[in-house]
Amino acid sequence: MVLITLVSSDEQNFPVERELLKQSGTIETLIVNMNLDDEDTDAAAMPIPLPNVKGDVLEKVIQWMEHHKGDPVKEGDNEDNNAEIVVPQWDDDFFKPAMYGSKHLELTVAASYLDIKNLLTLSCKAISNTFKGKTGPQIREEWGVPNEFTPEEEEAIRKENEWSE
Amino acid sequence: MSFNIGLLLLYLRFFRNRNRLTSIKNNEIKDKPENEDRFNVNDFFSRLPDLCIDEIFKRLLRKDIFNMSMVSSRFFPLTNEKSLDEIKWEKGSLAFYKVRFKFPFIAIGLITMKIAFLTANGYHFRLAVDRLNRPDYDIKFDYGILMNENGELIEKKRNGPFNRDDEVDFPYDAEFFSNLSMMLNGHAVNEIEIFYPILNEPISEQGRQRERKGDNLIYFNSCLVNGDDDDITHFFRPSQSILPYLIGYDELGVTNMILDRNWLVPLCMMAIDSLDQTTNKKCRLDFVIDGEITGDEISLQLRPNYEVFEKDERKIIRYFQCSVVNYGYVIKRADGRIAKIEIINYELIQSDNLVHGISVKVEDRDVDRSEDEN
């Protein structure tokens, strides 16, 4: 079994099974191009630095990849009907504890950076589920987003959106 | 449309903020130790890159996208991304219409999603926002542009049945078109069709039924062949101000619009020039002119860097009850861009009018003179 070492931005080392990394388009491309999965190559001597991912986030990403080991990896653009994607229970429980905090969002950014399509889809879907049926001010309050609109601007957008009610 | 100016200001503010955000981000990373908030933005969600927010928005339902636009000035422009149009306009009929009779004249049951509108002069336009080819299509909301008693244009956007008591008039000509582009509010329009002109006549019950069934496209050729439908004789003659609005589309079919024959050459030159702004480098225009035009007349109207070739062969084609003459010209710009003009003389069965169906095909390629002349 080939182990590949990933190095997070805070210089923690994570030895990961080569098989798991097939889910990440970014790392998979690197491994294939550098022949890191060759038995004769000393893969341990060539750790992959991930300067955009912090250690605790990378740990979560690896945890997620381990659970989804063997899942089919989507190729190309996601053609699914986005509104109908259901987040499986395990993933829901996985995302939930950190949902309104930075951890979940950093996980989403990491999924985008590492090009892990399934994780990005599910994580974005989990976030979008929290917006369902909520008004702008409610979402603002829940996520702590500051209100930058002037009352006139808010009124203009409200008028613009009136018909969607 | 005062609130549109407000929206414009918002866009401007967004771009200003975005630049500011980038510069702050760079300074922060260089000068300060990395803290919990690396972007100097104090909420978690706003720290997401645009790409990720776009991914999240793509998974929202139509109504939730509108709600997200209310959250912050950062999200507002992101909710207007083109990639979300399909969700935002899904299952809706966007109809620009006038309410002159007890029943508003609207397009119902279209398979394609279109903005349709009818002017007091009887021009009925449908602007395609997007195409949906689904059998379970139903109307969820409508979009109307009306004129109130002060003569101001107002937008009406609502769900459910139309209010049949609104009796308002509709704007005209150039002013109407410039207002229309404002009202489209940046929504992509990839097709324009002008059809079913009414010419200030009441809409017949039959016409209304036809609209409701969605069988509402009447093309010139089918009108000619069928011959027995009263509605088809209603050609309309717009003012010259319509010309700029006819170009810029890959394909435009307005086969019952009669243009002055002297506008043909300026229109062709405009169409050739407009290809500079498109990626497709091809366009096609179908309409009708009110009289015959000769090669000499064309060459007199051309600007210096254009020339015209005549196809010398005149084909006579026989349709069911009449014969048509088919001939054409090629207008060439000095750099090789060409507009092929095919002219078909149709003799209308119901009247003695002879109209000239025009098909202008503009291409971005070198003209083969010998081929076109033969």
Tell me which residue of B1, B15, B26, B20 sits closest to B73, measured CA to CA: B15
To the nearest 10°, report the CA torsion of B11, B12, B15, B17: -100
In a domain, A150, yes or no: no
Task: Please report residues of A whose CB lies closer than 8 A to that of B59.
Answer: 82-83, 85, 121, 124-125, 128
Task: Please report residues of A whose CB lies closer than 8 A to that of B159.
Answer: 163, 165
Quick one: A51 exposed, middle or buried, by C-beta within 10 A (0-12, 13-18, 19+)?
A: exposed
| Contacts for B39 with CB less than 8 Å, ≥ 6 apart | B21, B24, B25, B28, B46, B47
pLDDT digits (tens, 9 = 90+) for A63-77: 999 998 877 776 555
Of B6, B10, B43, the CB nearest to A143: B43
pLDDT digits (tens, 9 = 90+) for B233-281: 446 666 677 777 677 666 666 666 778 889 999 999 988 888 776 655 6
Task: Say whether A125 and B49 touch across the interface (CB within 8 A).
Answer: no
To the nearest 10°, report the CA torsion of B177, B180, B185, B187: -80
Task: Say whether A163 and B143 touch across the interface (CB within 8 A).
Answer: yes
pTM score above 0.80? no
In a domain, A11, yes or no: yes
Q: Which domain CATH number covers A33? A: 3.30.710.10
**Which of B17, B54, B56 to probe by mutation at the A interface, max A CB count within 10 Å?**
B56
Task: Say whether A102 and B44 touch across the interface (CB within 8 A).
Answer: yes
**Structural domain for A86, as ranges:** 3-132
User: Which run of H or E residues covers position B65?
Assistant: helix B62-68
Q: Structurally, how many domains does chain A consist of? A: 1
Task: Please report residues of A whose CB lies closer than 8 A to that of B44.
Answer: 100-102, 105, 143-144
Strand partners, A3: A17
In a domain, A118, yes or no: yes
pLDDT digits (tens, 9 = 90+) for B85-123: 667 655 443 333 332 222 222 332 222 233 444 433 334
In a domain, A165, yes or no: no
Confidence (pLDDT) at A62: 93
**Cβ within 8 Å of B, A 44-103:** 82-83, 85, 100-102
Total residues found in chain A within this entry: 165
Task: Say whether A133 and B64 touch across the interface (CB within 8 A).
Answer: yes
Distance from B33 to chain A by nearest Cα, in Å? 13
Name which residue leads in pLDDT, A75 or B11.
A75
Side-by-side strand order, sheet with A48-49: A13-17, A3-7, A48-49
Distance from A104 to chain B by nearest Cα, in Å? 9
In a domain, A82, yes or no: yes
What's the per-residue H, E or C state across B322-339? CEEEEEEEEEEECCCCEE
Task: Say whether A160 and B9 touch across the interface (CB within 8 A).
Answer: no
B193: left (phi over 0), alpha (psi -120 to 50) or beta: beta
CB pairs under 8 A between A and B: 129
In a domain, A124, yes or no: yes
ipTM of this predicted structure: 0.84
Distance from B243 to chain A by nearest Cα, in Å? 31
Cβ neighbour number for residue B15 with a 10 Å cutoff: 10
Tell me which residue of B352, B351, B311 sits closest to B332, measured CA to CA: B311
What is the residue-wise DSSP string for A48-114?
Answer: EE-TTS-HHHHHHHHHHHHHTTTPPPPPSS--S-GGG----HHHHHHHGGGTTSHHHHHHHHHHHHH
Task: Please report residues of A whose CB lies closer than 8 A to that of B80.
Answer: none
What is the residue-wise DSSP string for B243-266?
Answer: GGGGSS-SEEEEEEEEEPGGGHHH
At A42, the pLDDT band (50, 70, 90 cuts) reads low
What is the maximum alpha-carbon separation in chain A? 67
Name which residue leads in pLDDT, B216 or B68.
B68
pLDDT digits (tens, 9 = 90+) for A126-148: 888 888 888 888 888 888 888 88
Cβ–Cβ under 8 Å, residues B334 and B306: yes
Among chain A residues, the shortest Cα distance to B68 is held by A136
pLDDT above 50 for B69: yes
Task: Please report residues of A whose CB lies closer than 8 A to that of B6.
Answer: 152-153, 156
Task: Please report residues of B whose CB lies closer than 8 A to that of A85.
Answer: 59
pLDDT above 90 for A125: no
Cβ–Cβ under 8 Å, residues B363 and B282: yes
B25 SS3 class: helix
Among chain B residues, the shortest Cα distance to A9 is held by B34
Cβ–Cβ under 8 Å, residues B224 and B348: yes
Average pLDDT over chain A reads 82
Number of H helices, E strands in chain B: 11, 12
pLDDT digits (tens, 9 = 90+) for B179-217: 555 555 555 444 343 333 322 333 333 333 333 333 333
